[in-house]
Amino acid sequence: MREATYPPLDVLKPVAEGVWIVDSGPLRVLGMPLPVRMSVVRLGDGSLWLHSPTRYDAALHRAIAALGPIRHLVAPNIAHWTFLKAWQEHCPEALTWAAPNLRQRGQVRRSGLRIDRVLADAAPPEWAPDLRQIVVPGGLGFREVAFFHTRSRTLVLTDLVLNLEPAKMPALLRPLLHLAGMTAPGGQPPPYLRLVIKLRRGDAARAAAELVALRPDAVIFAHGLWFAQDGTDRLRNSLRWLGDFS
């Protein structure tokens, strides 16, 4: 078995002009090693926007800061916030933006995480010239906020697509992950998350249709092999559990 992650870890990797990723992990989720990924965007004003920050690393911080001032830390859904506090402490001038309902979580309140702004349906003035914003709703308070970098035609998701490579997973888990629909080339979120999102299926399907209609060239997400090419077709395939978006 190859390691579940995508080395080199905790370093900037260019995706397109003004867009980078940082691969990190693995996280252990229910005994499964899960690769995790941050996205970094340089906005038109030269500032940096960090989506779903991964574990804090001083050398990584210096590399990102060399690109411009870090002004925005983004928690795009109610699950991706664990590493934010460390980045807050080292980037005191950055605003922290959170998905709806994250602030209400008891675990978040106990952590002392500061939330400065709540993400809405439309992009705020701070990045509206560079990024479009779409909220994908679910039940039980779940929301995932998706972002589209218009200049590079790159869509940035979090857990709406999960595309694990079987060869990187423990052999005993591979059949289960395949049955759950979580493996490449057309990976989907875990069944429990699909069920949660389907509690608002109509609204979620409309939001998913909007994402496909953006016709992204590349689609980045937090876990697994991201779509560096043929983004629209591969996104449509991975979202088939929500409907036919052809």
Q: Are 214 and 148 in contact (CB under 8 A)?
A: yes
Q: Virtual CA dihedral for 204, 71, 49, 82, nearest 10 degrees?
A: -70
Query: What does pLDDT average to over the chain?
Result: 96
Please give the share of the chain, as a percent, with pLDDT higher than 90.
94
Name the phi and psi angles at 68, rounded to 5: 155, 175
Q: What is the pLDDT of residues 194-221, one digit of tens each?
A: 999 999 999 999 999 999 999 999 999 9
Cα(first)–Cα(last) distance of the chain, in Å? 36
**From the CB of residue 134, how many other CB atoms can be counted at a distance below 10 Å?**
21
Q: Are 68 and 42 in contact (CB under 8 A)?
A: yes
Asked if 165 and 171 count as a contact pair (C-beta separation under 8 A), the reply is no
pLDDT digits (tens, 9 = 90+) for 138-165: 999 999 999 999 999 999 999 999 999 9
Supply the pTM of this predicted model. 0.96
Q: How high is the pLDDT of residue 32?
A: 85
Alpha carbon of residue 5 to chain centroid: 16
Average pLDDT over residues 240-244: 96
Q: pLDDT tens digit string along 69-79?
A: 999 999 999 99
Confidence of residue 2 (pLDDT cuts 50, 70, 90): low
Instruction: Give the per-residue pLDDT at 3.
Output: 83
Contact 223/164 with Cβ under 8 angstroms? yes
Spatial distance between the Cα atoms of 139 and 12, rounded to a whole number of angstroms: 34
- pLDDT category at 1 given cuts 50, 70, 90 is very low
Residue 21, SS3 per DSSP: strand
Which helix or strand (DSSP H or E) is residue 62 part of? Answer: helix 58-65
Task: Write a three-state SS string for 177-235.
Answer: HHHCCCECCCCCCCHHHHHHHHCCHHHHHHHHHHHHHCCCCEEECCCECCECCCHHHHH
Asked whether the predicted pLDDT for residue 191 surpasses 90, the reply is yes
